[in-house]
């Protein structure tokens, strides 16, 4: 049994990245993810890695583009307004099909917003964010242990698919301390014969690029990207079901919200309400099929988010009109209490046709 | 048996380029390629192509290349160089790319003393987008976005990037050259070689600013463009080594 260590979420991501073989970190301070940059500044020096505090988020993501294209495991992290600045580079990275890990520890928005936890970057994270038809793999952990485990997975998926992988947390996850088991050193090695690292005896130059002036060639490139995204959709959906077996009402929640929902579900179960939860772990690819299957046997859905309602659109698409989908959200860094969600569960049972307590 | 005295550098592919007649990119590409051949570093050379007319530079150079977003080449080069410190990493950037949208990236790459080299093509106009004002456009110079000539009151003043970057401690070699005739081409090549050589020695950031023509967007014939460069650009952007560290001398 491996020893558990008490770590802050942001720092746990850094340690997991190092264990995954990441030796190139480029970032810029922004609350509430700054501890990750600070941790990398300290640790990279100890593992012969490179830490650069870039002059801007834009520079940081382009350093990632360079390091990823040169064949290295590399990462950057930021929080909402900083991720907006990185979107230009993320689109280029997606276009050039480079593997890298991006971390967004989300805060309240829009604009400068607040430094409190939020989930209001869901659209930006899952629908592209930058320009062009592209997808990031988006993973949403809900504990410090999962931040560790899914950072490791993120590096592997990035290399496997030559695609950016976004770890989407929120201010609460980044700041909270929990015991976690750190991973062993990664043994996974992905050969990167496509990397631009100098010819070094190779005959043909490797070009890292996303420019296709010929529309026919660009369409072919896009078709190939979409085929890759379909493969990812078919293979990499991750989710957790909690008490869904006999549930009449399914709560859909991810990240920190799923933990509050879990407490509320326990309270509701104690009162005899058959409530369960579907927690998407990958927000893209989204567990559409699982939700659609649940829709054929449960009576209603309640989506909980720290936003005005973003993921709820994907839930509605998945439910496809089969059952009612209610939404409850808080914004601006406000976090609902267990009691608040419990009352929303009761509301669902009281107001939706076909839903009744035992 | 005749001896072959002049041949295409191995670092340059045998393909036609898309550049306009009289444009200097072709000459500058060749000088860069010759230097890389002569230094024997084609196997470790990595170039970062810009956004702008030379966006397709990777189609002409015969070694590994990146295409970077507008202005971001120095940041991309930073990532590349940190992963492969033994590689010869250079950015190739125009005046819009380097002095406007990428001003932040070049300043900070130079300030970090990033061990990369920059080939900075200054033709005082935006070429690829069709002749708009650049940060280096001269006062009273007519462009599509300064149709009555650039006026400092409304459009600001041209930036001398080399002099500005030379103030930074991390910048170790900065020279401004021109390629409008054979003598200046030879000198330009010498300076490019010095910049690359300096990088190979691990001395930090080096940049060669190259004054170049854009006959198409200047609305001049190639020969008139050379004359315009000599009589207008060089007086405002004086040629010479602007900065060099002691160790390089």
Among A75, A205, A218, most B C-beta atoms within 10 A, so best to mutate, is A205
Closest partner CB to B79 (pick from A24, A58, A209): A24
Q: What are A146-191's pLDDT values in tens digits?
A: 999 999 999 999 999 999 999 999 999 999 999 999 998 887 899 9
Q: Using the structure block, give the residue that is written with the tokens 């509605």.
A: A316
Contact A201, B43 (CB under 8 A): yes
Q: Using the structure block, give the residue that is written with the tokens 């940049």.
A: B207
Angle at alpha carbon of residue B65, lines to B60 and B71, rounded to 5°: 100
Instruction: Pick the residue from chain A with its C-alpha nearest to B102.
Output: A59
Distance CA A341, CA A304 (A): 8
Yes or no, beta carbons of A207 and B79 under 8 Å apart = no
Q: Is B78 on the interface with A (CB under 8 A)?
A: yes
ipTM score above 0.90: yes
Give the pairing of strands A300-305 and B45-49.
unpaired
Instruction: Pick the residue from chain A with its C-alpha nearest to B49.
Output: A209
Set of chain B residues whose Cβ sits within 8 Å of the Cβ of A64: 79
Among B76, B100, B111, most A C-beta atoms within 10 A, so best to mutate, is B76
Tokens of A227: 């085929």
Set of chain B residues whose Cβ sits within 8 Å of the Cβ of A205: 58, 61-65
Distance CA A277, CA A247 (A): 9
Cα–Cα distances (Å) from B240 to A81, A120, A203, B170, B234, in that order, read 43, 54, 38, 19, 10
Strand locations in chain B, DSSP E? 45-49, 64-67, 88-94, 117-122, 171-178, 205-211, 240-244
Yes or no, beta carbons of A58 and B61 under 8 Å apart = no
Closest partner CB to A205 (pick from B62, B88, B112): B62
Print pLDDT tens along chain B (249 aa).
688 888 999 999 999 999 999 999 999 999 999 999 999 999 999 999 999 999 999 999 999 999 999 999 999 999 999 999 999 999 999 999 999 999 999 999 999 999 999 999 999 999 999 999 999 999 999 999 999 999 999 999 999 999 999 999 999 999 999 999 999 999 999 999 999 999 999 999 999 999 999 999 999 999 999 999 999 999 999 999 999 986 544
Among B44, B48, B82, B104, most A C-beta atoms within 10 A, so best to mutate, is B82
DSSP string, A38-101: HHHHHHHHHTT-EEEE-SSHHHHHHHHHHHHHTT--EEEEE-HHHHHHHHHHHHHHHHHT--EE
DSSP state of B97: I
Contact B68, A207 (CB under 8 A): no
How remote is the C-alpha of B159 from its chain's centroid? 15
Distance CA A145, CA A8 (A): 10
Give the pairing of strands A282-284 and A137-139.
antiparallel
Q: How is the beta sheet containing B171-178 ordered, strand by strand?
A: A207-208, B64-67, B45-49, B88-94, B117-122, B205-211, B171-178, B240-244
**Residue among A72, A71, A77, A16 nearest A49 (CA):** A72
């Amino acid at each position: 049994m491996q020893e558990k260590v008490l770590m802050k979420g942001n720092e746990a991501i850094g340690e997991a990245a190092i264990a995954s073989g990441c030796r190139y970190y480029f970032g810029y301070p922004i609350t509430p993810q700054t501890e990750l940059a600070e941790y990398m500044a300290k640790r990279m020096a100890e593992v012969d890695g490179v830490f650069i505090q870039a002059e801007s988020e834009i520079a940081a993501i382009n350093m990632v583009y360079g390091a990823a294209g040169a064949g290295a495991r590399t990462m950057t992290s930021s929080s909402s307004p900083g991720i907006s600045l990185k979107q230009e580079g993320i689109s280029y990275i997606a276009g050039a099909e480079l593997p890298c890990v991006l971390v967004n520890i989300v805060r309240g928005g829009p604009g400068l917003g607040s430094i409190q936890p939020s989930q209001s970057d869901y659209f930006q994270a899952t629908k592209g964010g930058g320009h062009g038809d592209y997808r990031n793999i988006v993973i949403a952990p809900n504990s410090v242990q999962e931040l560790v485990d899914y950072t490791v997975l993120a590096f592997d998926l990035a290399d496997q698919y030559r695609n950016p992988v976004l770890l989407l947390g929120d201010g609460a996850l980044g700041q909270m301390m929990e015991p976690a088991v750190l991973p062993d050193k990664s043994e996974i090695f992905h050969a990167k014969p496509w990397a631009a690292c100098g010819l070094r005896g190779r005959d043909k130059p490797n070009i890292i690029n996303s420019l296709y002036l010929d529309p026919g060639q660009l369409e072919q490139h896009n078709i190939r990207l979409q085929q890759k995204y379909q493969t990812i959709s078919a293979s990499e959906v991750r989710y957790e079901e909690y008490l869904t077996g006999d549930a009449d009402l399914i709560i859909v929640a991810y990240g920190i919200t799923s933990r509050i929902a879990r407490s509320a579900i326990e309270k509701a179960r104690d009162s005899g309400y058959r409530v369960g939860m579907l927690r998407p772990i990958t927000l893209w690819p989204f567990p559409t099929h699982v939700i659609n299957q649940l829709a054929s046997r449960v009576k209603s859905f309640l989506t909980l988010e720290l936003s005005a309602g973003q993921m709820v659109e994907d839930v509605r698409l998945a439910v496809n009109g089969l059952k009612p989908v209610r939404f409850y959200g808080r914004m601006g860094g406000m976090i609902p209490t267990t009691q608040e969600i419990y009352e929303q569960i009761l509301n669902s049972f009281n107001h939706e046709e076909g839903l009744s307590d035992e | 048996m005749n001896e072959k005295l002049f041949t295409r550098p191995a670092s340059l592919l045998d393909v036609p380029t898309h550049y306009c007649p009289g444009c200097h990119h072709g000459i500058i590409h060749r000088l860069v390629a010759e230097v890389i051949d002569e230094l024997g570093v084609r196997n470790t050379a990595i170039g970062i192509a810009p956004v702008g007319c030379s966006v397709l530079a990777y189609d002409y150079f015969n070694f590994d290349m990146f295409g970077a977003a507008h202005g971001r080449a120095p940041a991309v080069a930073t990532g590349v160089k940190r992963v492969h410190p033994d590689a010869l990493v250079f950015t190739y950037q125009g005046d819009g790319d380097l002095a406007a949208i990428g001003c932040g990236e070049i300043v900070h790459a130079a300030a970090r003393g990033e061990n990369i080299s920059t080939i900075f093509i200054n033709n005082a106009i935006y070429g690829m987008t069709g002749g708009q004002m650049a940060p280096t456009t001269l006062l009273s110079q007519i462009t599509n976005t300064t149709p009555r000539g650039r006026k400092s009151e409304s459009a600001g003043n041209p930036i001398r990037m080399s002099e500005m970057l030379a103030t930074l401690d991390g910048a170790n070699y900065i020279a401004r050259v021109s390629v409008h005739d054979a003598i200046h081409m030879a000198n330009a090549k010498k300076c490019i070689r010095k910049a690359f050589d300096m990088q190979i020695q691990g001395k930090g950031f080096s940049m060669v600013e190259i004054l170049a023509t854009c006959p198409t967007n200047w609305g001049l014939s190639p020969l008139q463009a050379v004359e315009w460069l000599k009589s207008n650009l060089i007086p405002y952007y004086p040629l010479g080594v602007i900065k060099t560290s002691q160790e390089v001398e």
